[in-house]
Structure 1
Amino acid sequence: MTVNEDSFTNWKNREEIAESMIPIIGKLHRERDVTVLLHSRSLVNKSVVSILKTHRFARQIAGEELSVTETLPFLQALTTLELGPSQIDIGMLAATYRADDRGLPVAEFTAEAVAGATGPDRIERREPRDVVLYGFGRIGRLLARLLIEKAGSGNGLRLRAIVVRRGAGQDIVKRASLLRRDSIHGQFQGTITVDEANSKIIANGNEIKVIYSDDPTSVDYTAYGIKNAILIDNTGKWRDREGLSQHLRPGVDKVVLTAPGKGDVLNVVHGVNHEMIEPDERILSCASCTTNAIVPPLKAMADEYGVLRGHVETVHSFTNDQNLLDNYHNSDRRGRSAPLNMVITETGAASAVAKALPDLKARITGSSIRVPVPDVSIAILGLRLARETTREEVLDHLRNVSLASPLKRQIDFISAPDAVSSDFIGSRHASIVDAGATKVEGDDAILYLWYDNEFGYSCQVIRVVQHVSGVEYPTYPAPAV
């Protein structure tokens, strides 16, 4: 047999194993609210090839691909346990088992590692929490996709309605079409039908009521059977407490803004300061996509090296608030054609750092340039550190943070020498450290941080909503602090 035939046979064998993993992963998710991860990447509803590619990602840990033959026994062991709602990382299980020298059987080691999900203190399955989307633009539709995807067993978050201004003819049909197909993020994963008579969009069995309103104070959500809901305002029209309080109508318990909040509205970057949210807080903000991109790596650097000062330059994809062709705009430069120009503009991300990291005393400045790409941006974060270090040390630190720390859902790490912006469309992380572009000299460090300013940010919003709703389930094995 030739080498090529050996490689092909090996691939087919791994395909067969990955196929056997899919029904196990699906059943755990549907019946027990267990999300199976592999180094922070969900394996739920993933194809055979996606599962194999995710295993290959583990080369960044030990320099070699993690085999499905190694992770399958841990997945099989999970099926023998009475698990409560949780997230279980079989990649971390395999890595910690490899490092364990006690010689325990896989089943016994797995039961010990996920004991918090099986013992008397395990979380019980909860009633689903209603969610309302106020606005249905770029972020609104991605939030809808994520909420539908995460509906799982029906015991987490449940998208009940979207609120929009009524458009021209066939409004609901056109909105459903925009949810079904996206020029950047591709096809919706599932089926979508429209019930025009009852003003509903049905996506993967989720009935979503379309409510037409120009005024948030005119809606009584209880009239639609909605109760104790979390309303996500992705219009950005109101940013202070007074304006956002208009959403606190019958049926709505909390309001989450997908833009930087003003005044005393708490700006939350999940993974960094979400624990600051008080249980009785009813109005909060998820800050901006750029704030979410720079704050987690800034915290990782400050915790390890100390930061004396910094500057962030964001090279940002164009957005809907710019003009396609030169035309009047309230801003000085955003009236110039977005697809034809690089446009210098302002960013509030640097000033927002102080709200997310109040203990960081370093002065952070910032500016932004909009460029002619439709999605994915990069933040260039220049830092003066409190001590000298090396490029190798910084990269090792950030790689470890991305793999085995409480920030591993926020920070990703890539060492590919040919990576470009389109490679990060659909990334679920708040930012991705580009190892090849990183520069360190003494106490100066420059980090290049890619981020999908649409999808990655939407994932951060969903994490905040899960946290305040009580359906942010613990992860096992627990990440290192």
Structure 2
Amino acid sequence: MTVKDDSFTNWKHREEIAESMIPIIGKLHREQDVNILLHSRSLVNKSVVSILKTHRFARQIAGEELSVTETMPFLQALTTLDLGPSQIDIGMLAATYREDDRGLSIEEFTAEAVSGATGENKLERGAGRDVVLYGFGRIGRLVARLLIEKAGSGNGLRLRAIVVRGGGDQDLVKRASLLRRDSIHGQFNGTITVDEANSTILANGNAIKVIYANDPSEVDYTAYGIKDAILIDNTGKWRDREGLSKHLRPGIDKVVLTAPGKGDVPNIVHGVNHDTIKPDEKVLSCASCTTNAIVPPLKAMDDEYGVLRGHVETVHSFTNDQNLLDNYHKADRRGRSAPLNMVITETGAASAVAKALPDLKAPITGSSIRVPVPDVSIAILSLRLGRETTRDEVLEYLRDVSLHSPLKRQIDFTTAPDAVSMDFVGSRHASIVDAGATKVDGDNAILYLWYDNEFGYSCQVIRVVQHVSGVEYPTYPAPQA
């Protein structure tokens, strides 16, 4: 047999294994609320080729490719356990098993590694938590996609309603179409139908009521059977506690803002300070996409090296508040044509660091340039460290953080030498460290951090909502502290 024939036979064998993984992954998700991950990437609802590509991508962060022949035995071992709601990373199971020298079988090792999700330790599945979207723009539609995707067995978050201003004829059809097709993020993964008579969008079996209102005071959510809900305001119209509290209407328990909060509104970056949210807090913010991109790696670098001062320069995709062509805008430069210009503007991300990382005493400054790309931005984080180090040491540390630490859902890592912005569309991490671009000279370090300022940020919003709703399931093997 030639090498070519042998490679093709090997590929077909791996395809067969990946195909057999799909029903196991689906059943665990649907019946037990178990989300199967591979190095923090969900394998739920993925195709054969997507599963194989995710395994291959492991070489970018773990240094070597994973094979489905390695991970399949761990997936099979999970089917024999009495699992409760959880997230289980079979990539990490395979990696930690390889390093274990106790002579345990895969079944014994797996049972021990996920013991916190089995038997008497497992979480009980609740009745679910209602969610309402106030506004249905770029972030609102992506959050809707994620909520529908994560509906699982129906015991988690449930998107019950969307509140928008009336848009005239065919409004519901047009909004459903924008959810169905997206020029950047592609087709919705499922089916969407419109029930105009009942003002409802049906997405993968989820009945989502579309409520028309011009102001929060016009809505009584209990009239729609909604109770104890978390409302996600993605309009950005209100940013202080007084304004956001208008949403605390009958049926609404908490309000989450998808923009930087003002005044005493807590700005939360999941993975960094979400555990500071008080149980009785009714109003909170998920900060900005850029704040979410820079705060996790900034915390990681401060934890290991100490940060004395820093500056962040963001090269940011244009956004909907800019003009297509030159026209009046209340900001000085944003009125100039977004698709034709680089536009210098301000960013509040640097000042927002203090809210998310109050223990960081280092001054952080920041500025931003909007550029003619529709999605994915890059933050260039220049740091003066508390001690000297080397580029290799920093990269090895950040690689380890992306694999093993509590920040592994926020920080990703790539060694791809030809990476460009469009490669990161759809990334679920808050930011991705570009290893090839990283520069270190003594106590100075410059990190290049890619981030999908739409989808990656929406994933961070969902994580905050899961946390405050009580349906944020633990991950196994547990991240290293």
Alignment partners' CA distance in 2, 1:330 and 1:442 = 43
| Percent identity between the two aligned chains | 87
Cα deviations across residues 283-309 of structure 1 (Å, max 9, x unaligned)?
Answer: 000000000000000000000000000
Question: Which residues in structure 2 correspond to 1:274-423 (within 5 Å)?
Answer: 274-423=274-423
Q: Which residue of 1 aligns with 2:443?
A: 443
Q: CA deviation at 1:218?
A: 1.2
Amino acid in structure 2 at the alignment position of 1:414: T
Alignment partners' CA distance in 1, 2:465 and 2:278 = 13
Q: Which residue of 2 aligns with 1:31?
A: 31
Amino acid in structure 2 at the alignment position of 1:144: A
Question: Which residues in structure 2 correspond to 1:55-454 (within 5 Å)?
Answer: 55-60=55-60, 63-454=63-454
Amino acid in structure 2 at the alignment position of 1:400: D
Amino acid in structure 2 at the alignment position of 1:75: L
Alignment partners' CA distance in 2, 1:37 and 1:452 = 20
Alignment partners' CA distance in 1, 2:321 and 2:218 = 27
Amino acid in structure 1 at the alignment position of 2:198: N
Q: Calculate the TM-score normalised by the size of structure 1.
A: 0.99
Q: CA deviation at 1:99?
A: 0.7
Alignment partners' CA distance in 2, 1:49 and 1:159 = 30
Q: Secondary structure at the match of 1:201?
A: strand
Q: CA deviation at 1:62?
A: 5.1
Q: CA deviation at 1:59?
A: 1.7
Q: Secondary structure at the match of 2:168?
A: coil
Alignment partners' CA distance in 1, 2:51 and 2:4 = 22
Q: Secondary structure at the match of 1:361?
A: coil
Q: Secondary structure at the match of 1:155?
A: coil
Alignment partners' CA distance in 1, 2:106 and 2:386 = 44
Amino acid in structure 1 at the alignment position of 2:52: L
Q: CA deviation at 1:108?
A: 1.1
Alignment partners' CA distance in 1, 2:57 and 2:424 = 14
Q: CA deviation at 1:257?
A: 0.1
Q: CA deviation at 1:58?
A: 2.1
Alignment partners' CA distance in 2, 1:103 and 1:291 = 45
Alignment partners' CA distance in 1, 2:92 and 2:437 = 28
Q: CA deviation at 1:353?
A: 0.1
Cα gap change, 1:331 to 1:62, in 2 (>3 Å) = closer
Q: State the Cα RMSD in Å.
A: 0.7
Cα deviations across residues 215-264 of structure 1 (Å, max 9, x unaligned)?
Answer: 10110000000000000000000000000000000000000000000000
Amino acid in structure 1 at the alignment position of 2:213: S
**2:272–2:296: 8 Å Cα contact kept in structure 1?**
yes
Alignment partners' CA distance in 2, 1:129 and 1:275 = 19
Amino acid in structure 1 at the alignment position of 2:14: R
Q: CA deviation at 1:64?
A: 2.4
Runs of at least 5 residues in structure 2 that lack an aligned partner in the other structure: none
Amino acid in structure 2 at the alignment position of 1:86: S
Alignment partners' CA distance in 2, 1:467 and 1:7 = 45
Q: Calculate the TM-score normalised by the size of structure 2.
A: 0.99
Alignment partners' CA distance in 2, 1:118 and 1:270 = 26
Q: CA deviation at 1:61?
A: 5.3
Runs of 4+ in 1 over 2 A off after TM superposition: 60-64
Alignment partners' CA distance in 1, 2:306 and 2:93 = 32
Amino acid in structure 2 at the alignment position of 1:266: P
Cα deviations across residues 77-121 of structure 1 (Å, max 9, x unaligned)?
Answer: 111111010001111111111111111111111111110001312
Q: Secondary structure at the match of 2:131?
A: strand
Amino acid in structure 1 at the alignment position of 2:345: T
Amino acid in structure 1 at the alignment position of 2:299: K
Cα deviations across residues 115-162 of structure 1 (Å, max 9, x unaligned)?
Answer: 000131221001110000000000000000000000011010000000
Amino acid in structure 2 at the alignment position of 1:5: D
Q: CA deviation at 1:270?
A: 0.2
**2:133–2:233: 8 Å Cα contact kept in structure 1?**
yes
Q: Which residue of 2 aligns with 1:9?
A: 9
Alignment partners' CA distance in 1, 2:277 and 2:147 = 21
Alignment partners' CA distance in 2, 1:326 and 1:168 = 28
Q: Secondary structure at the match of 2:121?
A: coil
Q: Secondary structure at the match of 1:338?
A: coil
**2:60–2:416: 8 Å Cα contact kept in structure 1?**
no
Cα deviations across residues 313-340 of structure 1 (Å, max 9, x unaligned)?
Answer: 0000000100000000000000000000
Q: CA deviation at 1:343?
A: 0.3
Alignment partners' CA distance in 1, 2:62 and 2:463 = 29
Alignment partners' CA distance in 2, 1:422 and 1:39 = 21
Cα deviations across residues 42-94 of structure 1 (Å, max 9, x unaligned)?
Answer: 00000111111111122245532111111111101111111010001111111
**2:61–2:415: 8 Å Cα contact kept in structure 1?**
no
Cα deviations across residues 382-430 of structure 1 (Å, max 9, x unaligned)?
Answer: 0000000000000001111011110000000011111000000000000
Cα deviations across residues 350-379 of structure 1 (Å, max 9, x unaligned)?
Answer: 000000000000000000000000000000
Q: Secondary structure at the match of 1:327?
A: coil
Amino acid in structure 2 at the alignment position of 1:229: A
